[in-house]
Amino acid sequence: MLHIIDRRFNSTNKSSVNRQRLMKRVQARIKEAVEEAVSKRAMDDLGRGGEVSVPKADISEPVFGHGSGGQVTHVLPGNKQFKVGDKMMRPSGRGGGDGGAGHGASDDAQYENEFTFQITRAEYLDYLFDGLELPYLVKKDLSKQESPKYRNAGFTSQGSPEKLNVLRTLARARGRRIALTANLKKRILALQLQLEQDELEVEERLQLEAELQRLLKRKSSLPFLEEVDLRFHNLTQVPNPATSAVMFCLMDVSGSMTQAMKDMAKRYFLLLYLFLERQYGKTEIVFISHHTQAQEVDDQTFFYSRESGGTIVSSALQLTLDIIQQRYPSHNWNIYVAQASDGDNWADDSERCQQLIHQLVPLCQYFTYVEIGKHTEKPLWSDYAPLAVTHGDHFAMRSITSVKDIYPVFHDLFSRGKTL
């Protein structure tokens, strides 16, 4: 009988392959659980990993068993309690009997049918942003925006151990040994043939055996691997044009935005922030908050400050245009704008707002407007509605009425497939 013993080193992540295989089987369920967790988590936990649960039925495996088959005779004991035709009471649903280990059902019986995964932050974000991208992204200013890229350029005799090409190294080592031992093998074979002759004298035979032993020792002393045999992958750096992109995040923090509405807007922008950080590491983000006045702020102020006041949307649009002209010319940058507001605006600001938005949208690759709160005909929605017709897919409007709407709207706005 053949016995195979696996003596490979077991690392601390020895079960990672099985774990990934299992997660691949139930990835649809895990993705649903991750998307559902977005609306239930606190803002500080929105980008963290954690536990997700999937039904146990999705991870069950088919089991094949042998049937009894044939004719089987059973000898069953009798009973003193029941007779033919008696009706038996159905067992109660709260356990198997008094004093037994299963007495009393758990109030959390739903967890008995669930399997819990502990996923990392990277895995969580991968599931969360799967299938999303910045639409209409093109390469601009290729001569200035470059990132290093490495390409295989053959092999070299010097390099770091992790770049060692084992097969090529062993092939060279074998070739070296063949070349160095070819002449020795011929001389050894000739001596062996001479020693097979019977007419040799004793002294001559001893000399031939001594020479044979010397050649065999010389042949066996050749090293299996020498430094000259080593071959490493040679990687050369080549210029790689990078895509330059900037995202403007405009959030209404006026008094008409209740705290619940501001929290929904911040959740939406936090998803956008995590998405850009995860998928597009070099994308610049400009945060603008506005009420009667607009100001550029950092991420901490944008997500955690509490402000209020009147609403003049044109101040944010004007500041965005000024920043684009000063720092992000449209011929060099892919410009994106994401705006969130409750839709209210100062009555006298409507005309000014329409003028600015018609100047801003043509400069952008993609402009998104999200209206927070109960969807009614608000002034800002009316001002923006004609743009959805004139600019087509490069301008999008959506409404969010509850926390549960945030991720579906975000996924719809940045779903993959929008190309030039």
Q: What's the half-sphere exposure (Cβ side, CA atoms, 13 Å) at 362? A: 5
pLDDT tens-digit series, residues 219-251: 888 888 888 888 888 887 766 555 678 999 999
Q: Is the pLDDT of residue 95 over 60?
A: no
Confidence of residue 420 (pLDDT cuts 50, 70, 90): very low
Q: Is the pLDDT of residue 151 over 50?
A: yes
- 73 three-class SS: coil
Mean confidence (pLDDT) of the chain:
78
Q: First-to-last CA distance in the chain?
A: 64
Distance from C-alpha of 82 to C-alpha of 88, rounded to nearest angstrom: 9
Q: Which two tokens stand for residue 111?
A: 């967890």
Residues 6 or more apart whose Cβ sits within 8 Å of residue 11: none
The CA-atom distances, in angstroms, between 338 and each of 266, 302, 353 are 12, 14, 16
Task: Tell the CATH topology of 242-413.
Answer: Rossmann fold (3.40.50)
What are the extents of the domains in the chain? 16-58+112-128, 161-233, 242-413
Q: Is the pLDDT of residue 14 over 60?
A: no
Q: Is the pLDDT of residue 379 over 50?
A: yes
Q: What is the pLDDT of residue 142?
A: 43
* Dihedral over Cα of 309, 315, 316, 319: its sign: negative
Amino acid at 188: I
Distance from C-alpha of 263 to C-alpha of 43, rounded to nearest angstrom: 9
Q: Is the pLDDT of residue 97 over 60?
A: no
Residues in the chain: 420
Distance from C-alpha of 149 to C-alpha of 368, rounded to nearest angstrom: 33
pLDDT tens-digit series, residues 164-205: 888 989 998 888 888 888 888 888 888 888 888 777 777 888
Q: What is the pLDDT of residue 257?
A: 86
Helical (H) or strand (E) element with 18: helix 16-25
Q: What is the pLDDT of residue 239?
A: 60
Helices (H), 221-332: 259-279, 299-304, 313-327
Q: Return the C-alpha torsion angle 285, 290, 293, 299, nearest 10.
A: -40
Distance from C-alpha of 280 to C-alpha of 245, rounded to nearest angstrom: 9
Confidence of residue 322 (pLDDT cuts 50, 70, 90): very high
Distance from C-alpha of 129 to C-alpha of 57, rounded to nearest angstrom: 26
Q: What is the pLDDT of residue 99?
A: 44
